[in-house]
Amino acid sequence: MSKLCIGFEVHQPYRLNSRFDHKNGVKIKDLEKEYFSSKNKEILEKVAGKCYIPATEIVLEGLDNGFKCAFSISGTLIEQLEKWNTDALDLFKQAARHKNTELIAQTYYHSIASLFDDLEEFELQVKLHKKLLKDVFGVVPRVMENTEFLFNNSIARSAKKMGFEAIYSEGVERILDWRSPNYVYTCQGIKVLMRNYKLSDDIAFRFNNREWEQYPLTADKFADWIASVPGDYINIFVDYETFGEHHWDETGILDFLRWLPKECLGRGIEFETPSAISKLEPREELDVDETISWADIEKDASAWAGNTIQKNALKAVQRAKIYAKNKKLWRYLQTSDHFYYMASKFGSCGDVHNYFSPEACSTFSAFEQYMNILSHYEQKFSHRTGSKKTAMILRSVSPDKAFNFWNSQNYTGFSAYSLDDLAEMLNHVPEDSVEYHIQRNDFSRWIGEALGDKKLASVVENCKNRIDLTEAIDRERDLLWKRLK
């Protein structure tokens, strides 16, 4: 008898306010309202009407008739449902109370904290999510999935340390090699449930594709496929918004969801929850020394940290921890969606990124919007650090104040948004660009005017080459960080 484990990713971010003006005076109590889009409520209510309410009503019908499933609901979505659509939240609560449903843990803010230099913040957010599930649904999760299935050996060790029985990962061929995703594995002492991404993506991405050779995908056809697949179980995991939002009701997707349990059960396919699957005997130990995910063809971290601006933003939000007196706002800025919008992908992957990105939001405009808000956040809370003057020097600046590296003719593609960035860029920027800016005294001017460090600006003014410049900046930077910490 085949076993089928179905999981739903349920998430909405707090999208940023594209019209936020860094120059306007904003009181601290109004920051959340100013930083995040007024359209978030409108989007939440639209998705609830098209997906969360009708799809969950269908799921509830199935749960009484042998269907089993798991929900991974982000903390940012739960907050929005509590504020703007309690009807949808009540349906999720009904589902959570059902014996055939399992809620699984993730990061509260659906964040990229597992890509930070250490996993302390990641673990704190998972614990916050566990508490939220207990408070709202009365559930203590036993299984977890990291944001977008980001996974590696270190994340596996953290999940084990936090007491979870199992963690989800993507069934990536280069990790599995000859193995099948349809078995339980272990990694760093914890059970790993591998997503069968081909079957999952048949629903999530190909369901409404009229050029697909298997179109139309019907519940009975999909059930036949499940029944014929070898292995101990099949793990299907998709965005819940697939049902009614990504694919509208007119496509037949909600009927597919309604009929799938009946078609599967009629073929002897048994539905299971993740914790039940985790009790299966594991086949082998996996070594996942690279970071994998369920995103794009690459199935790595490149959807959030694949280009220069994403890496700059990732480093900037980590540095912002020292300013994070309002940790809630800081953590909202870690939500994976913000970084996803900055991706520079092409082909089918680029099409997917464009679909999920806000309207008229280009790669760089998403970055500018993000850095404008992060820079403003650091300025607003600089006075609550050990030294406001030091904090202002070390902060990230808005894109209009960035140091852009040029040579005598062209922009080199390198930009610095902080003193830390400048120190790092000096290790990579072409020599002709460094010489060009030294001759023009641009480094001294930017450090003095944009960062406000008159002392370092005076020292840098006398630097005649890259080595002297790098050493002077590194010395000052180390002293400033020691003073601030």
Annotated catalytic residue, options 148, 241, 272, 476:
148
Whole-number Å distance between alpha carbons of 186 and 137: 29
The three-state secondary structure class of 236 is: strand
Task: Tell me the pairing of strands 411-416 and 166-170.
Answer: unpaired
Beta-carbon count within 10 A of 482 CB: 9
> Distance from CA of residue 175 to its chain's centroid?
21
DSSP 70: E
Name the token pair of 418: 């902080």
DSSP 447: H
Q: Rounded to the nearest 5 degrees, what angle is found at the Cα of 378, between the Cα atoms of 150 and 310?
A: 35
SS (H, E, C) 321-380: HHHCCCHHHHHHCCEHHHHHCCCCCCHHHHHHHHHHCCCCCCHHHHHHHHHHHHHHHHHH
Asked whether the beta carbons of 121 and 112 are under 8 A apart, the reply is no
Active site residue 148: yes
Using CA atoms, how far residue 42 sits from 38, 53, 86, 340, 385, in Å, is 8, 15, 14, 21, 36
Diameter of the chain by CA atoms? 81
Mind telling me the catalytic residues? 148
